[in-house]
Structure 1
Amino acid sequence: MGERFDCYYCKESLLGRKYILRENNQHCVKCFESLYSNTCEDCKAIISSDCKDLSYKDHHWHEQCFKCSKCSCSLVEKAFAAKDENLLCTECYSNEYSSKCFTCKKTIMPGSRKMEYRGNSWHETCFVCKRCRQPIGTKSFIPKENNNYCIPCYEKQFALHCSSCKKVITTGGVTYHDQPWHKECFLCTGCKMQLAGQRFTSRDDFPYCLDCFSNLYAKKCAACVNVIAGIGGSKYISFEDRQWHNDCFNCKNCAISLVGRGFLTKRDDVFCPECGRDA
């Protein structure tokens, strides 16, 4: 009696019948399919041994069932995407779920690089500086009025430049005569002391600290020779080319105040009318 050649599972003879080997054991087609064949995700039927079994993430399909869930085109040997366990061709996925480029308004295809900022998306090649048109990529940039600028272009087009050193003012700064200055560049014309945060005055459009202005330009009292500070509304008496503090405008002889009274002059001195007649 010859050696038997039976199905490993049901023990029926395989002589003259189709069989399938698995782990060195032969199975009849029926047993193999019931034990090992997968169920198609689309039609829910068994994927028989004589059919091609296409799989993706532990899911299986007949070749004819492996298609886009939206437009039903075949996905065999084509790029596809998955959404909520449904397979979609790249066109349907793009139309349904992909971002649109903020600049060119075209779909950003799955898998392609994109840039995102404040809820908007761009193709990498569309995310460019408004001024120089170069891709920004991972470089720093500054947004302005729905446009983006690389740092050098933003500084050239929008940043303030110091009236003294001509360099960009990045933070702070001082405005004088409607012109911007770095704090460290806004100096007294006389002593070069920084004037930011200090009281100052000007002459011929040049800024001066109070000390320098007083020493250079302020009027000096003809009596005490001290500066008559014009800042703060100080009152003084002026006659011809000489000036006096109100408190210093007194008769040279009797020291009576001459403010609001008549007076006489003799050389550099002033006298009340009485003392003047005797002088």
Structure 2
Amino acid sequence: MATKDAGPVMCNSCHSAISGRIVTALDKKWHPEHFTCNTCRKPIDGAKFHQHDGGVHCVPCYAQHHSPRCHGCGDPITDRVIQALGASWHAHHFVCGGCKKELGGGGFMEQAGRPYCSSCYANKFAARCAGCASPIVDKAIIALDAKWHRECFTCTKCRKPVTDSTFSVLDGKPLCGKCA
């Protein structure tokens, strides 16, 4: 069975026949010197390039002109991008405002536009328990003009948790109904 000759391979840029080395990209054929970056106009060497707004760009031009900029350092981000707090970040620049630990893709708390890990946030900004002075990061009991951990709101005499909605007060501390 004979194959039909399709003729010479034509360059997508200059529309001339290509003899020798052929660059195949974007389902088209090019002379190596005609497959060029839309920004710097230099031939794109190797197999790596980016498409943007209908054109092709070499890796350095794409990084410099089209990559998102890190909110932490201002440099282009060419690898993993963290999108948080309305900005783009390098993973190693998206860090806790307290301990400086990388926050990565995990959870964080925000205070005044800065990210914090849950531990630093609790230590710096959470309400403090009137019983133990530790941060309250979950549900709190509000009584006696203060906030309390449920387990810290105890009777000043018997030390058992005060669970009734009515209780007495002794020297500014709760007193359960049995001890009152």
TM-score tier by shorter-chain length is 0.7 to 0.9
Q: Which residue of the partner structure matches residue 60 of structure 1?
A: none
Q: Which residue of the partner structure matches residue 128 of structure 2?
A: 220
Task: Please say if residues 235 and 245 of structure 1, whose CA atoms lie closer than 8 Å, have aligned partners that are also in contact.
Answer: yes
SS of the aligned residue for 2:29 comes to: strand
CA distance in 1 between counterparts of 2:84 and 2:124 reads 21
Q: Which residue of the partner structure matches residue 51 of structure 2?
A: 144
TM-score, structure 1 as length reference: 0.52
Q: Which residue of the partner structure matches residue 3 of structure 2?
A: none
Whether 1:107 aligns to 2:11 is: no
* Greater share of helix: 1
* Gapped regions of structure 1 (runs ≥ 5): 1-95
Q: Which residue of the partner structure matches residue 175 of structure 2?
A: 271
SS of the aligned residue for 2:36 comes to: coil
Task: Please say if residues 263 and 272 of structure 1, whose CA atoms lie closer than 8 Å, have aligned partners that are also in contact.
Answer: yes
CA distance in 2 between counterparts of 1:137 and 1:255 reads 76
Counterpart selection for 2:37 from 129, 147, 158: 129
Q: Which residue of the partner structure matches residue 120 of structure 1?
A: 28
Query: 1:116 deviation in Å?
Result: 1.1
| Pairing of 1:21-170 with structure 2 (within 5 A) | 97-104=7-14, 106-108=15-17, 110=19, 115-118=22-25, 120-124=28-32, 126-132=34-40, 134-136=41-43, 138=45, 141-144=48-51, 147-170=55-78
SS of the aligned residue for 2:11 comes to: coil
Query: 1:263 deviation in Å?
Result: 2.1
Against the structure 1 CA distance between its residues 189 and 109, is the aligned structure 2 distance closer, same or farther, given a 3 Å change threshold?
Answer: closer
SS of the aligned residue for 2:142 comes to: strand
CA distance in 2 between counterparts of 1:175 and 1:122 reads 37
Against the structure 1 CA distance between its residues 207 and 240, is the aligned structure 2 distance closer, same or farther, given a 3 Å change threshold?
Answer: farther
Whether 1:248 aligns to 2:152 is: yes
Computing the radius of gyration over CA atoms, which structure comes out larger, 1 or 2? 1
> Which amino acid in 1 is paired with 2:49?
I
> May I ask how many residue pairs the two structures share in their alignment?
173
SS of the aligned residue for 2:34 comes to: coil
Q: Deviations over 1:167-198 (max 9, x none)?
A: 22222242223422212111110121222255
Aligned residues with identical type, % of pairs: 27
SS of the aligned residue for 1:247 comes to: helix
Query: 1:125 deviation in Å?
Result: 5.1
Query: 1:107 deviation in Å?
Result: 2.0
Over aligned residues, Cα RMSD in angstroms? 3.0
Task: Please say if residues 174 and 182 of structure 1, whose CA atoms lie closer than 8 Å, have aligned partners that are also in contact.
Answer: yes
* Gapped regions of structure 2 (runs ≥ 5): 1-5
Task: Please say if residues 129 and 135 of structure 1, whose CA atoms lie closer than 8 Å, have aligned partners that are also in contact.
Answer: yes
SS of the aligned residue for 2:158 comes to: coil
CA distance in 2 between counterparts of 1:212 and 1:203 reads 11
TM-score, structure 2 as length reference: 0.76
Query: 1:142 deviation in Å?
Result: 0.6
